[in-house]
Amino acid sequence: MFRFERVAVTGAAGLIGGAVSRKLSGLGVEVIPIDLPDVDVAEPRVADVLDAARPQAVLHAAAHPGGKSLAEPIDDVRVNALGSMRVFEWCARANVPVIYTSSSAVYGDQPAGGIREDAPVKPGTVYAGAKIACEHWLNILGHGYGLPWTVLRLFATYGAGHKPNTFQGILNVMLTQLLSGDRVVVKGSLERERDLLYVDDAAAAIVKAFERDAARGQIINVGTGIGVTIRQIIEAICHELGRPLSGVSIVEEAGTVGDSRNSVADISRARLVLGFEPAFMLADGLRTLLRERAPHY
């Protein structure tokens, strides 16, 4: 039996929040969705909504997308910093455990190989900077109020909950272009390496984090521990679509600010603390995604 009866999920309509909401509902948990724009986490009334709902735990997954943070820095800070602090403050005053979905973006440029949680953070985007600030704030509120918190640094998460676009999620960006034509624009090197995490695995790790007391006060990577290049992502999508790679025009453009070359997780801590093991490798996750996103293929 799940330890909490009522859990509030910010960003419940998004990729990660939606997957967690479905998983919790399946466990018999009452999920309280808190979403932009219906309930803007950056507005003071989010505290009133939480007061009325009286959740026993909170997942804070709502965020302004990282791919828009340079073009919309004020919106990014408003949602990802101020909005997060409104949620954190309510949790601290109510003594309600909170799980925060941070990001692998906080690491910035790192040497090749698995990145451990104690690696120096080098945020290269407004989005990553806000994520790091939130991690520090949780630690401070933990000391000041006794707030029970867990930070999960999710690596490049993908799944059907991503709306087709060219600014959010590297696999989503490539897939969106390949489903609409034979030309793919890649911003940055094709040899950049990413750790692709299927959303159901992300949700499984989050649910485990709610259940494990050992996760309190911890920063934990969630990924697969396996790196794939952007070139390999395009190849894998073409393979699953049954399309020859030779028929695709790949255009390399200048990279975006803060986009790292190597981003692969060391998931030793997730295995130890959460008992987490990814169930979806790239081919499995991509196949599942395409069944939902492009069933005609």
Q: Where are the domains of the chain?
A: 6-161+196-225+263-279
pLDDT of residue 232: 96
Q: Tens digits of per-residue pLDDT, 16-72? A: 999 999 999 999 999 999 998 889 999 999 999 999 999 999 999 999 998 899 999
Q: Decide if pLDDT at 132 tops 90.
A: yes
For residue 112, the tally of other CB atoms under 10 A from its CB is 10
What average pLDDT score do residues 73-92 get? 98
For 103, 108, 132, 142, 152, the CA distances from 258, given in Å and listed in that order, are 13, 7, 14, 30, 21
- Which strand (E) or helix (H) includes residue 253? strand 249-253
pLDDT at 243 over 70: yes
Beta partners for residue 220, in sequence order: 152
- On the question of pLDDT at 295 being above 80, the answer is no
For 140-158, write each residue's pLDDT tens digit.
999 999 999 999 999 999 9
Q: Which residues of 167-202 are buried (b: 16+ CB within 10 A; e: fewer)?
A: ebbbbbbbbbbbeeeeebebbbeeebbbbbbbbbbb
142, burial (CB in 10 Å: exposed 0-12, middle 13-18, buried 19+) = middle
Terminal CA-CA length for the chain: 39
Q: Which CATH code of 3.20.20.70, 3.40.30.10, 3.30.565.10, 3.40.50.720 fits the domain covering 6-161+196-225+263-279?
A: 3.40.50.720
Residue 25 is predicted with a pLDDT of 98
Residue 87 tokens read as 């949620």
How far is Cα 33 from Cα 14, in angstroms, rounded to an integer? 11
Report the distance separating Cα 77 and Cα 74, nearest Å: 5
pLDDT in tens, 187-216: 999 999 999 999 999 999 999 999 999 999
Global confidence as pTM = 0.95
Q: Give the integer Cα–Cα distance in Å for 200 and 13.
A: 15
Can you tell me the mean pLDDT for 66-89? Answer: 96
Residue 52 class from Cβ within 10 Å (0-12 exposed, 13-18 middle, 19+ buried)? exposed
pLDDT band at 220 (very low <50, low <70, confident <90, very high): very high
Q: In the predicted model, is pLDDT for residue 222 greater than 90?
A: yes
Q: Tens of pLDDT along 255-293?
A: 888 888 999 999 999 999 999 999 999 999 999 999 888
> Using CA atoms, how far apart are residues 280 and 292, in angstroms rounded to an integer?
16
Q: Please, what is the average pLDDT of the chain?
A: 95
Strands of 98-103's sheet in order across: 30-34, 6-10, 57-60, 98-103, 149-154, 218-222
> In the prediction, which pLDDT does 297 show?
62
Q: What is the DSSP letter of 295?
A: T
Question: How much is the average pLDDT of 106-129?
Answer: 95
Pairwise CA distance, residues 138 & 136, whole Å: 5
